[in-house]
Structures are given as C-alpha cells and as structure tokens.
Homo-oligomer: A and B are copies of this chain.
Amino acid sequence: MGGPEIERLIFLFSKLPGFGPRSARRIVLSLLKHPQSRMIPLADALEQAAQKVKICSSCGNLDSNDPCQICSDSYRNHEVICVVETVGDLWALEKTEVFKGYYQVLGGTLSPLAGVGPEDLNLVSLFKRLERKEVKEIILALGATVDGVTTMHWLYDQLLPWHVKITKVGQGIPMGGSLEILDEGTLTAALTARRPA
C-alpha cells in the first residue's frame, strides 16, 4: 500500500507497544498529511534523543546528561533514596513533586521465571552511594506484584547490614477508588494499614 517507504513506516510503528497494523496505518496516514510540519520534526527528535540520551551512571535514570538532572541537583535531600523498578516509575513519582530525595532505578524486578537474577538489577551504584554514609532512609517503591514484593523482601535483606531506615510505600485504596470494585488483596492491605482518622 503506497510503496516501500509507507510500508516500512507502518511496519516500524506496528512494532511499538500498544500498536497493531491498524493503529500503525492510522498514525502513518495522519503523519503523511503533514510531512514537513510533523514527520520531519519527529524524525529529528528521534535522532537527537537516540544520540544524546544516556543512562545515568548514578541512579539509572534516562537523561541527556550523565549524571542526570535529578542526581546533579544538589538541593535535593541526600539522606533519602527511593528505589523504583523502571524509569517510568521514577517519572511518575517526579510528577507528584512530593519526593525531594534521590532515586535508584533497578531496571526490573527479580523474576526467576523470566530469568532475572540479582546480578541483572542496577544495584552497584546504590551500594556505592551507601558507602558514603550520607543516606539515612531507603524507600522501597516497587509495584505490589508478586515479583515486586519478592524483590522488596530480597532488597530488605541486602540493605539490613547498612543500618539505614528501610521503608516501603503505603498500600491501600487508590484515590477516587470505590471499595466495591477493588480486589480482596487491596482491601486486606487497606484494612491492615488503617490509621487513626
């Protein structure tokens, strides 16, 4: 349909997460309506980002600079490190503008089934930072999944010898959530985590 250039573009889009051949065709068609104002800028932006963006050697974040914007911000709280699974989780937490410490991106969770072991997690730079003896608290902000909880337990054991405060993010009813539609696991966690009103 429309020659090799269009077909290649549709193919590449159809390989992106959340895309199939139909949605890829739709997006390519909408792009082809504005070749100069949409396609060329997008091509440039992709190339620029591919060339410039690197993994922060300190925390594992993605940024055009190494160390990343967050790690090079000396106004943040050096005493707290928040451990997250992915860069997406870090970005989501940053958007809340609540946390002002530093991060550590594991790059995944322990998963025996997927063959992910401790050596696959980005932890060396965390222990390096712990050696500087500035850190007082480590927040474990991993997902409430089987692998997330397993990783949390394992990390807890690894962090014990460092004598820092180890906390984990609260579990319970999400904002706007109605009890009726929530699963039993969440409701149990919410009941267990009850506090004085």
- Determine how close the nearest CB of chain B comes to the CB of A42; give it in whole angstroms: 5
Interface segment among A8-16, A75-83, A144-152: the answer is: A8-16
Number of copies: 2
Please give, as numbers and ranges, the residues of chain B lying within 8 Å of A95 by CB-CB distance: 1
Asked if A49 contacts B30 (CB within 8 A), the reply is no
Least CB separation from A36: chain B residue? B50
A window 156-197: CB within 8 A of B: none
Interface of A, secondary structure class, is helix
A43 in the interface (beta carbon within 8 A): yes
A3 CB to nearest B CB, Å: 3
A87 beta carbon closer than 8 Å to chain B? yes
Given A2-B63, A18-B23, A27-B18; A46-B50 close (CB under 8 Å): no
Asked whether A88 lies within 8 Å of B43 as measured between CB atoms, the reply is no
Whether B39 pairs with A50 at a CB distance below 8 angstroms is yes
Name the residue of chain B whose CB is nearest to the CB of A1. B91
Mark A1-41 against chain B: 1 for CB-CB distance below 8 A, else 0: 11111101100110111100001011111111001101111
Cβ–Cβ < 8 Å partners of A124 in chain B: none
Q: Is the pair A49, B35 in contact by a Cβ cutoff of 8 Å?
A: yes
Contacts of A6 in B (CB 8 A): 49, 53, 62-64
A119 at the interface (CB under 8 A from B): no
Tell me which residues across on chain B come within 8 A of A63, comparing CB atoms.
Answer: 2-3, 6
Least Cβ–Cβ distance between A123 and chain B, in angstroms: 19
Chain B minimum-CB-distance residue to A61: B2
**In the complex, what's the smallest C-beta–C-beta distance from A51 to chain B, in angstroms?**
8
